[in-house]
Structures are given as structure tokens and as C-alpha cells.
């Protein structure tokens, strides 16, 4: 009987620790994508960081607007997409990945750089729909009299740029090049800005109401 009880406890413990936790993501290859191996680089990094804790993750891919709505509930555990009230939720970085973000335009003879965003006044920038309505970057664009065109994906933004319906696309460099290849666009026809608008790591938000065993201990080691 003691042996049976011990085995039962071990089995229950294993089941609890091997449970899969849902992670909210949007389609943003090569970082998060249903069409990528292992759902993209971000999921690979997330699973790698927590493999010692036997924490497993399963993706829930949603369009940006639906992701924002879903994150306004208490039903989620982790998210690569920022919740509306970011400061209410713990966040941690996957430090091995540095993402450099700037603008993309059709190739011109002149260098693509600026000292002030006001130099781009009156232009249209396609930007992934964001729930960060008051973010510093969006404020900078608006203060510089730059018109923001919301898109559901970087792919959609690049297609608008190809048709010259926008002047620029806000994108990270690695992801932008990847999507161009997927769309069959020639990289030589497009120019990434030498000026960076943002450099960041992949961030993961956690809903404290969702208990994940060993999560906090693992985060401290990142």
C-alpha cells in the first residue's frame, strides 16, 4: 500500500509539472508563426529556457485585435503580445534574442537615416495594430505629423509598400527580410533604415492568476 501511494503521488506530480500552458501569440514570423517549425524562434527560446522545470507551452495564435480582447480577460497564462495594461502584469525577457526595429522603404540612392522624425513629416507608416495607444513611439510618430496606417501583419504592411500606398513600414530587420522572401519580393528593391527606432528583447507577459509551477524560480535564472 505505501508503495502504491508513493507511485500515485509521483504520477500526480509528474502530471502537474508536465501540464501544457497556453501562450498567446500573433502571426509574426520568424519569431511566432503557425507555419514555422516549433511555432517560431520565440517558442523555441521559451521552451529551451524552461525545459529544466518541465514546463511545456502550447501556442494560441490570434489576430492582434482578438489577442488584445482575449488578454483583457483572466483566461490567459502567458503572452508574447502585450496586454493593454502592461504594468499590471509581470514581464520577463528572453535575453538571447535582440530585435532591432526601424523603417523599411523602397530603395533610393540616398542613405535612409534621420536625425529627427520630423524629417519624415507628412509620410505614411504602416504599423502593426497595437493596443499600446499611448506608447512613446506612437506619440513620437504623431508628434512628427506622421500618419500611422494600422495593419494586421507586417506582411500586409509590405504589400501596401509594394503598391506604394504607404511610404514606410515599421518592422524589425530580420523579420522584415524573412517576410519579403516569403512574399517573393526582391530584397534589393527595399531599404532598411540605418536609424533604429527601437532595440529590444523578446518579452513574455505572465498573468499572475495563472499558476505555473516553478515559473518564478526559472525567471530569476534568466
DSSP 110: S
Residue 77: is its pLDDT beyond 70? Answer: yes
Top mean-pLDDT range of 3-17, 44-58, 60-74, 103-117: 103-117
pLDDT tens track for 112-148: 999 999 999 999 999 987 755 557 899 999 999 999 9
CATH superfamily of 98-199: Periplasmic binding protein-like II (3.40.190.10)
> Residues 155, 182: contact at Cβ < 8 Å?
yes
Could you tell me the pTM of the whole model?
Answer: 0.70
Residue with the bigger pLDDT between 181 and 212: it is 181
Highest mean pLDDT among 79-83, 130-134, 162-166: 162-166
pLDDT of residue 37: 81
Same fold, 2-97+201-220 and 98-199: yes
Q: In this structure, are strands 78-79 and 124-128 parallel, antiparallel, or unpaired?
A: unpaired
Percentage of the chain beyond pLDDT 90 is 52
Answer yes or no: is pLDDT of 40 > 50. yes
Which value, to the nearest 10 degrees, does the dihedral of the CA atoms of residues 14, 17, 23, 28 take? -80
Query: 5 pLDDT band (50/70/90 cuts)?
Result: very low
CA distance 84 to 70: 10
Boundaries of every domain in the chain: 2-97+201-220, 98-199
Does the domain at 2-97+201-220 match CATH 1.10.375.10? Answer given as no
| Between 35 and 194, residue with greater pLDDT | 194
Assigned C-alpha cell, 128 = 502593426
Tell me what the pLDDT averaged over the chain comes to. Answer: 85
Amino acid at each position: 500500500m505505501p508503495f502504491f501511494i508513493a507511485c500515485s503521488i509521483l504520477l500526480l506530480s509528474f502530471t502537474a509539472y508536465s501540464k501544457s500552458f497556453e501562450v498567446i501569440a500573433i502571426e509574426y514570423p520568424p519569431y511566432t508563426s503557425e507555419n514555422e517549425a516549433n511555432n517560431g524562434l520565440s517558442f523555441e527560446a521559451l521552451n529551451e529556457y524552461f525545459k529544466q522545470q518541465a514546463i511545456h507551452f502550447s501556442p494560441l495564435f490570434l489576430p492582434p485585435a482578438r489577442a488584445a480582447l482575449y488578454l483583457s480577460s483572466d483566461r490567459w497564462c502567458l503572452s508574447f503580445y502585450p496586454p493593454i495594461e502592461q504594468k499590471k502584469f509581470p514581464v520577463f525577457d528572453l535575453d538571447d534574442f535582440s530585435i532591432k526595429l526601424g523603417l523599411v522603404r523602397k530603395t533610393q540612392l540616398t542613405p535612409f537615416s534621420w536625425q529627427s522624425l520630423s524629417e519624415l513629416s507628412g509620410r505614411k507608416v504602416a504599423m502593426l495594430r497595437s493596443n499600446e495607444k499611448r506608447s512613446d513611439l506612437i506619440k513620437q510618430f504623431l508628434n512628427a505629423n506622421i500618419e500611422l496606417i494600422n495593419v494586421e501583419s507586417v506582411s500586409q504592411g509590405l504589400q501596401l509598400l509594394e503598391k506604394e500606398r504607404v511610404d514606410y513600414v515599421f518592422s524589425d530587420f530580420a523579420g522584415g527580410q524573412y517576410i519579403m522572401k516569403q512574399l517573393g519580393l526582391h530584397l534589393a528593391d527595399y531599404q532598411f533604415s540605418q536609424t533604429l527606432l527601437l532595440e529590444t528583447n523578446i518579452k513574455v507577459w505572465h498573468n499572475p492568476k495563472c499558476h505555473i509551477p516553478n515559473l518564478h524560480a526559472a525567471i530569476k535564472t534568466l
